[in-house]
Every structure is written in C-alpha cells, then in structure tokens.
Structure 1
Amino acid sequence: MLAANIVAKEKELDDNNVFAVDDELKLLKSAAIYGANASGKSNIAKALSFMKWFMINSSKETQSTEKINVQPFKLSTQTETQPSFFEIVFLLDGKKYRYGFEANQEKVVSEWLFYVPKTRETRIFERIDHSLTYLSNRFKAEGIYPKTRRNALFLSVAAQFNVEMAEEILNWLTIKLEIVSGLDDTDYLDYTVSCLAENHSNKEEIIQLIKKLDLGIRELSIKETVFNPNLSLKEISDNFKEFLLKNPEFLKSKRINTSHQKFDDQGNYVSMEFFNLEDQESEGTQKIVAIAGLLIDTIKNGKVLIFDEFDARLHPLISKAIVELFNSKETNQHNAQLIFMTHDTNLLSNKLFRRDQIWFTEKNKYGATDLYSLVEYKIRNDASFESDYIKGKYGAIPFIGNLNKIIGEPNV
C-alpha cells in the first residue's frame, strides 16, 4: 500500500494514516476496497490466500500427481489457457523483496525472487518451467532444486531444507500476514478465548476494546466444561470412549460468558447477569468478540490484516472505530496495516481516508476486473467521496435495471 504524493484535506490524515519506511518510501496504514457485488473484491482476498498457502505448503502438503488449485479466467479465449500470475512485494528486516510465480493446474510455469540489499534490485533466483535459470550464492540452496516437483514452489522446498532466506520469508508470511472473511470469523474465536483464558499479554486490551464498543458488556469470563463420555456420549464406541478418557484435553470445552448490569424497576443497579456468548448475544456481538483478539494482535505486533466482507454484521460506527485504531499514531505505534473489502459507504469520508486509501473494483463488459484508486481521479480535496460514489462518478457500482416488470400480471 504505497502512499501517493498527495496532501489530504485534513492535515492530521497525512500525519496519522501514513508512515515512512525510509526517505523515499511511504506506506499507508489502511485501505478500503469498494465495488458492486460480483465485481471481484473477494477474489483479491482469495488469490492472496491461495498464494500464501501455496508458498508455505506446496512442498509438503501436495503429491506429485495433484493439480494446482488455480482457476484461469474463463471468459476470454486469450486467457483461459494462460497460467495465473501471482506477485507480492514486502518488507522483511528493512529490505524490500519481490517474489512471484506463474502456474497452471499442471505445473509451476515460472518463479522468481528479487530483493533490494541497498539501492538496486538484485536477483536471487529465477525459474522457467522445470529449469533454474539463475541462482545467487546468497540463497545457499545448491543441489536443492532437483528435489522440487513441477507442481511445487522452489521457495517452499528450499525452506524445507533449511535455506535461511526461504525460511525467513515463509516465517514472515505465516506470522505477519493474516487473511480473513467477515462471513466466517468464528475460527478466530478460539484465539480470543485462549487470550482470555490464560494470562495472555493481550487479555486486558481485548477486554477494553470490547467494553468501549458500547455492547453493554461489563466483563468477560471463561467457563470450562468437562464432558463425561460415559454420560454425555452414549452412542460412541467403547474404543473411542477409552481414547477420550486417556486424552482428557479432548473432553474440555471453553466458552465465553459476558456480564451485563441488571436493574430494578426504579433504575437501580442490583446485580450482574451472565450471558453465554454463543447462545444469548447477537451475531454482531459474537463477531466483535471473535475478531477482538485478532485485531489487538495485529496492531500490537505490526502485522498485515486483509479483511474481506469487513462490515458484515457490524454497525457503521463500530467499523469506523476499528479503522481509526489503525489510522492512529497513538494506537498503531508499530504500523500495522488493514486492507478491507466493504460496501459500507459511511466510511467513504475525506475525514477518515486520504484519496490513495480508497480503491475500487469494476468489471468491464468482458467480465474482467479492474482495480483502481480514487487518487487517479482529479477531484477536490473537499469532495464528498460517499455522495459522488453513490452517484456513479467513480464507477464500481451496480447498474440496476427496471424492476417494475419482473413480476408478471396475475393469471385470470
């Protein structure tokens, strides 16, 4: 997320939303991607998610006969037989790296890694089809390439053989880059539960975040339940019961309870009432609790979070508050980055974002997606981003036909 050479209407945005890597490179702390349904927003997250998985796992979790899970663009005769292209540029220990590959379902067609040790980009390795055309001594991977299958990445194989640079890159990818969907965020509840159940360094910040988002929650607590397989699991086999009794960790269940104030008919506080998060709280509250641990961990450790369907089940003011956590020198001291896909036009404000933080996806008449930034438009700094977007001035909106005649006349 490169920062453009622009000045925002609100000067504090230039100070808070941007951070300098060096004298020449400035990056953004957040970016919002807008677009109509089926315009390709989610495909950005899906492509990055596949790229991350393939880089980390192609050497160890695939067999030589397995297909690579890439999907060519099928709406063009020119591209349906072409390989899919993936490339990522990232910073690791103060150095800029550029890594990418091309692949079809049968094989990795090409793969490359460059980095900038000082001022000039330097090639580390380059692969075309099943030949390694160049390998730098810096990579220290001599003799490893012949062990690379045609459907696996050399970088992934090198990491398996303890090549330091490869290990560092995949470690960065594993730890620093998180890709999530707001439609399926329950997977992250376990992390929040673990932080709350243990004396975790993020525990207090998670509780404070949830309390300050006006959910009516005064405290959070963890309730652990231990199931007796003889009583609770009557229909399972004796062998499985024996396994569970020998492995009691599989019988434990941890659930979050929320506490709310209870009042009498005069409005006086009388006690605390405890609710079970999954059964008695709203879906919006469940989502906030589920992602709270992820948000705190991202901000405290300077990670990158890519969030598809960011606004699903969230009030616009809560979405705005989360964005402001990232767009702040005070709360985001380690320059964590948030990239999110959304339909929430309430966030389209020149008081929240610079123009280079707002992106759009739009499909052309041939079904291909174009990703472009608001900074490409010559508009006034005091323009109403939301109003102009809804009016179609930036594209990336659905063009809805006349719905008056979709319901036919009743049969007589």
Structure 2
Amino acid sequence: MLLKFSVGNFLSFKNKTTLNLAATSIKEHNDTNIFSTERSALLKGAVIYGANASGKSNFIRAMSTMRRLVLLSFDKSSTNVLGVTPFLLNTETEKAPSFFETVFIINDIRYRYGFEVDDKKIHAEWLFEAIMSAEKPLFLREENGIEVMKNFPEGKGLEERTRDNALFLAVADQFNGKIAKRILQWFNNFNTISGLSHEGYKGVTFKMLENKQTSLALLDFYKKLDLGFDDITISKKIFDPKEFPYDIPESLVKQLVTDLEGAFKMDIRTIHKKYNAKDKVVGKVEFDMRSQESAGANKLFNISGPMFDVLNGGGVLVVDELDDSLHPLLTLAVTKLFNSKEFNRNNAQLVFATHDTNLLYYGNYRRDQIYFVEKDQYGASDMYALVEYKEEGKTIRKDRSFEKDYIEGRYGAIPFIGNLSNIVTEWQEK
C-alpha cells in the first residue's frame, strides 16, 4: 500500500515534490474512494492534470525510475551508468544527485525507503521502519559508508559487498534478507505502464485470459464495455518465418529466425455476430484484434491484463496518458474499477496522468485525489493537490464545479494560449 512518493532534482522537478495517498479529513466518497488499515485511511488512487510539457510524465517516470533501480541495480556491473537525469536548467542542480523516496505499508508495518543517486553512483540510501508509531532506522548509507542497525541483522557483513552503483537494499535481497525480500516484492507490485506505448503489455493480458480463474473477470469486463464484439478467442502458434513482410532485409530475417526459434506467436481474435438480410443472426465472424479492431479496443485489451493483475494482487498501478485513444466513458469505466468493491477487493491503487477533464465531474474524485502539475518561469515543475489549493485564503469547496474551474484556469496547470487571430493575421501578411 502506497502512502507517499517523493522526487527531487529529477528531469523537470527541481525541488522535492510529493504525491500523498494518505486520506485527509474531508468527507467525500468515503465509502468508495478510501480504505482503512490499522494505521491510517488511504486513498485508492490519484489523478494528475497539467498542460503538455508541464511534467506529468516526468513524475511518472520518476516512479518508474525508482522501481527500476530497486529491482535491477544489483544486476549491473561496476561500469554501468544508472540512467538518472537531474534538473539541468540550474547550475546548483545539474551536478547534484536526484532524490527518490517512498513510504508504504507491508503487513501493517510502515516503511520509509529512499536514496540519492546520480548517473554513476548511489550517494545516500536509507530505510526506516515503524512497527508502532515511532520510526526507527534499519540502515543509513552516506558517502563515507553504510551503518547497519541491530534490528536489520540481514545487512551485517554486506557493506563491503555493495558497489557504488548498487543499492544496499538490493544486495540484502540477493543474500535472502527477509525484510529486503518483502520490500523488493512490494516494488515488484508497484507497476508503471504507458498509455501510449502499450503493445508490450499484451503478454500479461494473454496469460490472464489463458488462466480460467482470471479470464472470467476480464471477459465480463469487455462485455460490459460494449467494445463491439461478443467474445474473444486466444491461441498460441509456433512462430513462422514466412509471416515476415517481404521487404525486410535478408540479413535481419536470418537474425530474427535465430532469435525467435521455438517462440510462440499470440493469436487474438474477436467474435462478431453475422446477420442475414432480415437482421437475424446466422453465424459468427472472427476478426484479428490487431488489424481489424479499433485503436481504443486494442489499447484497452493490452492494458487490461496489468490492470486486473494489480486488482487481483492489491498492488499499485501507475499509468501515463491513460485516456489516449479511449472514449471518455471507457476511461471512466477503468477508473471506476478501482473504486469498485466488487472488482477491487484487495485495495489496489491507481495513479494516472490524463487530459480528460470529464473525470473532474463524472469521476467522483475527492479533492485530495486531484493533483495539478505546473511549470514555473524557470522551467521547474511543481505539483499540488486540489485540497491544498487556496483561493483568497480559503480552500476550494467540495460543491464547486472542478472541471469548469480548471478549464477557466482557476487552479493553474493549463496551457497559456495567446491570441490565435494574431497568428493567422501575421501568416496572411507574409
């Protein structure tokens, strides 16, 4: 369960910025949008708005980067770079390390884990544990070494085994540390996906449709969305080199044949009713999902696997550009899954970036779930929740029209569009 995620000096985020999923005291949609643990009440997700190039995607990339470093830093060699870019528009930050920190709950124990890192090395790393209310350190890493506390015995003796570009937590996991293993598993269930480049998630959906226990929920979801087909068939076919396009260079074909030897191709077909002249059903027709269904249907199919995987496991799903290629009602349907007691029985959380302002009206989001990202005049992004926003010294009331206010620019985080008629006039005069 995610409580907070913070990032600083990374891409367009110069200063520390935090997404907080701890529910505030406001009384909105308490029966659907929050869930309670022994420690606190948490939100089932958040929605992030902002103009193009404001930093929405960069915030999600920060989440993805932290996850990648936690899960993969141990596998790198000592010469590998870490793929971290600081805020480059300021002389104080361009050479400084980036900051990442996450607060989360595992088995009713709160952990706070973070690190400071540049492209070549880990500058600092820390892990705190709060079994009751007081927070105690498990280990602290600084430039001059790693201090392992007595309540983290699994880390003893691993200090000298940790490379400069490897996380100590990942090293402890490799040596079967119990706490480290639990935390690495939490990060494994902290999934970030792209709503633009979603083809790669099809395999997850395919596996879930192959499983009888998970396929029923997916098929029921497709039918309720009225995507234009009645059913789906899936099958595996041995890869056939004859299916390559004729214009691919022969050298590339030979390489691909070698790489894909013994591989399977996923064949996904949708089932449609066939009618006669009197509009009576006379049979069925199969369509190829990729080539004969819409871009929106393909996207929904591709991301539905990761969605239901998180819903079943109770993890965190972070999606950039969720609404791309989707009708607003389909986007709404996806978000409602996570606020549904029927589908979200394990308190999964959904965080996503979007331009779909309809959700500010129809989505039934609380003010502490709505976030805005905006860049200042120096190119630095900032993010703030609607519940924090003040107008004339007062917080925004829950009965305001959030969508109307946002479009009118009351909350910021919208593009500044000049007088387009001037552009047209200047163009015509040339």
- What TM-score results when the alignment is normalised by the length of structure 2? 0.87
Q: Deviations over 1:305-333 (max 9, x none)?
A: 00110101111011111111111223211
When residues 15 and 144 of structure 1 are mapped into structure 2, their CA distance, relative to the original with a 3 A threshold, is same
1:106 counterpart residue number: 120
- Contact 2:310–2:317, Cα closer than 8 Å, also in 1: yes
- 1:328 pairs, out of 336, 340, 361, with 340
Q: Which residue of structure 1 lines up, in the alignment, with residue 232 of structure 2? A: 220
Asked if residue 261 in structure 1 is aligned to residue 273 in structure 2, the reply is yes
Q: Following the alignment from structure 2 to structure 1, what is the Cα–Cα distance between the partners of residues 215 and 331?
A: 21
Q: Say yes or no: does 1:41 pair with 2:53.
A: no
CA distance in 2, matches of 1:138, 1:187: 38
Structure 2 counterpart of 1:205: 217
Tell me how far apart the structure 2 counterparts of residues 236 and 108 of structure 1 sit (CA, whole Å).
Answer: 42
Q: Report the alpha carbon displacement of residue 232 of structure 1 after superposing the two structures with TM.
A: 6.0
1:85 equivalent to 2:85? Answer: no
Aligned position for 2:16 = none
Superposed, 1:210-249 pairs within 5 Å as 210-227=222-239, 235=250, 249=262
- Are residues 1:346 and 2:358 paired? yes
* Residue 396 of structure 2 is aligned to residue 379 of structure 1: yes
User: 1:240 & 1:313 partners in 2: Cα distance?
Assistant: 34
Give the direction of change, closer, same or farther, for the CA distance of 1:156–1:209 in structure 2 (3 Å limit). same
Aligned residues with identical type, % of pairs:
43
Distance 1:351 1:178 in 2: 22
2:420 is equivalent to residue 403 of structure 1 = yes
**Which one-letter code corresponds to 1:219 in the other structure?**
D
Structure 2 counterpart of 1:148: 162
Residues 323, 354 of structure 2: 8 Å contact kept: yes
Once residues 255 and 78 of structure 2 are traced to their aligned partners in structure 1, the CA distance between those partners, rounded to angstroms, is 35
Q: Deviations over 1:255-312 (max 9, x none)?
A: 1000111222322222111100011001100011111222222112211100110101
Whether the 8 Å CA contact 2:33–2:339 is kept in 1: the answer is yes
Residues 357-372 of structure 1 mapped to structure 2, 5 A cutoff: 357-372=369-384
Aligned AA for 2:30?
D
Cα distance change, pair 228–337 in 1 and its aligned pair in 2 (3 A): closer
Q: Secondary structure at the match of 1:275?
A: strand
> For 1:282 and 1:242, how far apart are their aligned partners in 2?
30
Contact 1:72 1:79 (C-alpha < 8 Å) held by counterparts: yes
SS in 2 for 1:262: strand
Cα distance in 2 for residues equivalent to 1:248 and 1:66: 30
Q: Deviations over 1:105-131 (max 9, x none)?
A: 232111000011222111000010140
What letter corresponds to residue 403 of structure 1 in structure 2?
L
Quickly say closer, same or farther: Cα 1:387–1:133, change in 2 above 3 A.
Answer: same
Gaps of 5+ in 2: 1-20, 390-394
Letter in 2 for 1:391: E
- Of the three residues 82, 93, 96, the one matched with 1:68 is 82
Amino acid corresponding to residue 382 of structure 1 in structure 2: D
Instruction: Judge conservation of contact 1:139–1:165 (CA < 8 Å) in 2.
Output: no
**Amino acid of the residue matched to residue 405 of structure 1?**
N
SS at match of 1:338: strand
Q: Does 1:57 align with 2:72?
A: yes
* Alpha-carbon offset, residue 87 of structure 1: 0.2
Distance verdict in 2 for CA 1:368–1:409, change over 3 Å: closer
Aligned to 1:365, what secondary structure does the other structure show? coil
Give the conservation status (yes or no) of the 8 Å contact 1:210–1:292. no
Cα 1:184/1:409, change in 2 over 3 Å: closer
- CA–CA distance in 1 between the matches of 2:339 and 2:406? 22
Kept after mapping to 1: 8 A contact 2:148/2:156: no
Of residues 172, 178, 182, the one that matches 2:195 is 182
User: Take 1:37 and 1:385, find their aligned partners in 2: how far apart are those partners?
Assistant: 19
Q: Is the 8 A contact 2:103 2:113 kept in 1?
A: yes
Q: What are the Cα deviations for residues 340-394 of structure 1, in whole angstroms up to 9, with x where unaligned?
A: 1000000002761111111110111111111100101312221101000001111
Alpha carbons 1:350, 1:381 under 8 Å: kept: no
- RMSD over aligned Cα, in angstroms? 2.3
CA–CA distance in structure 1, aligned partners of residues 324 and 253 of structure 2: 44
Q: 1:351 to 1:49 in 2, by over 3 A?
A: closer
Tell me what 1:270 maps to: 282
Kept in 1, the 8 Å contact 2:335–2:363? The answer is: no
User: Residue 159 of structure 1: CA displacement?
Assistant: 1.1
- The question of whether the paired residues in 1 share the 8 Å contact of 2:237 and 2:265 is answered with yes
Distance in 1 (CA, whole Å) between partners of 2:311 and 2:240 is 40
In structure 2, distance between residues paired with 1:120 and 1:35: 37
CA distance in 2, matches of 1:257, 1:350: 33
Give the C-alpha shift of residue 193 in structure 1.
Answer: 1.5
How many residues are treated as equivalent by the alignment?
400
Change over 3 Å in CA distance of 1:411–1:18 after alignment to 2: closer
Against the structure 1 CA distance between its residues 141 and 391, is the aligned structure 2 distance closer, same or farther, given a 3 Å change threshold? same
Secondary structure in 1 matching 2:213: coil
Contact 1:361 1:369 in 2 (8 A): yes
Note the C-alpha offset of 1:173. Answer: 1.0
AA aligned opposite 2:383: L
* Counterpart residue identity of residue 286, structure 1: N
Q: Which residue does 1:164 correspond to in 2?
A: 178
Counterpart position of 1:4: 24
Distance of 2:312 and 2:411 partners within structure 1: 35
How far has the Cα of 1:409 moved from its partner? 4.6
